[in-house]
């Protein structure tokens, strides 16, 4: 029996601690507003899927929040860099009896259920599935067994992450989804229809 787990990594939505690059342009209050909207979108997409869902928090598991409605397993990220934290999340899922695991980011305005379903279907015939991000990283990674080398020795947060990951994936059968854009900068915000009102407001003000 196939048991699939969809995971998202989130930052605890605290003022001044999320979307810090974006906050340099639009301010930390507006940046927090953008991130909360992205979290709500991510939750909607995941809740619409047919998979078991989990959220991994960056700092702590709150008593109550957007994700505490019983639909999501809730964990805290563990590890001293992003790769270690992702590896821990996959290990948690596989140890929990899941045999297809998909991990996504939480700042993807154009993410849809289609992407989760495509990743699930790809794992029937491929060892790994990757959704490339336009900034040189990836917004989704899925696998049906642990491939720990994909999470080690990477320059996390840089434009070389996808290239480095592919260098360490030689011999693996990988499927690719369409590229998507996440929101890290004001330029990303300007290019995203859902947040046009914020970028227009900033432009008029400044």
Measured CA distances, 45 to 49, 83, 122, 149, 159 (Å): 7, 24, 19, 29, 26
Burial class (CB in 10 A: 0-12, 13-18, 19+), 89: buried
* Contacts with 23 (C-beta within 8 Å, 6 or more apart), sequence order: 16, 30, 31
Domain ranges of the chain: 4-205
Q: DSSP characters for 98-148?
A: -SEEEEE-S--TT--HHHHHHHHHHTTT-SEEEEEBTTSSEEEEEESS--G
pLDDT at 206: 38
Residue whose C-alpha is closest to residue 156's, from 147, 165, 148: 165
pLDDT of residue 2: 82
**Helices and strands, counts by H and E, the chain:** 7, 7
> If 0-12 CB within 10 Å is exposed, 13-18 middle and 19+ buried, where does residue 182 land?
buried
Distances (CA, A) of 54 to 8, 22, 78, 155, 178: 6, 26, 15, 26, 23
Q: DSSP string spanning 1-32?
A: ---EEEEEEE----TTSSSHHHHHHH-HHHHH
Could you list the mean pLDDT of each consecutive 10-residue stretch along the chain, which spans 206 residues? Answer: 94 94 91 93 95 97 94 96 97 97 95 97 97 94 96 90 93 96 85 59 44
pLDDT of residue 158: 87
> Does the 4-205 domain belong in CATH 3.40.50.300?
no
Q: What is the pLDDT of residue 205?
A: 41
Contact in structure between 138 and 91 (CB atoms under 8 Å): no
pTM, two decimal places: 0.91
pLDDT on residue 192: 75
The span from the CA of 123 to the CA of 113, in Å, is 16
């Amino acid at each position: 029996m196939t048991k699939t787990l969809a995971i998202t990594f989130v930052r605890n939505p605290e003022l001044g601690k999320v979307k810090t690059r974006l906050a340099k342009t639009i301010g930390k209050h507006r940046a927090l507003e953008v991130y909360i909207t992205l979290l709500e979108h991510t939750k909607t997409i995941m809740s619409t899927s047919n998979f078991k869902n989990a959220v991994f928090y960056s700092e702590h598991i709150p008593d109550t929040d957007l994700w505490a409605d019983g639909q999501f397993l809730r964990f805290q990220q563990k590890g001293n860099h992003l790769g270690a934290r992702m590896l821990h999340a996959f290990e948690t899922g596989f140890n929990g009896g899941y045999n297809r695991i998909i991990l996504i980011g939480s700042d993807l305005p154009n993410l849809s259920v289609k992407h989760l379903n495509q990743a699930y279907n790809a794992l029937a015939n491929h060892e790994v599935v990757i959704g490339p991000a336009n900034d040189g990283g990836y917004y989704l990674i899925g696998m049906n067994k642990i491939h720990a080398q994909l999470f080690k020795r990477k320059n996390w947060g840089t434009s070389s992450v996808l290239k480095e990951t592919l260098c360490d994936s030689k011999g693996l059968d990988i499927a690719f989804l369409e590229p998507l854009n996440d929101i890290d900068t004001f330029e990303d915000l300007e290019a995203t229809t859902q947040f046009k009102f914020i970028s227009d407001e900033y432009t008029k003000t400044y």
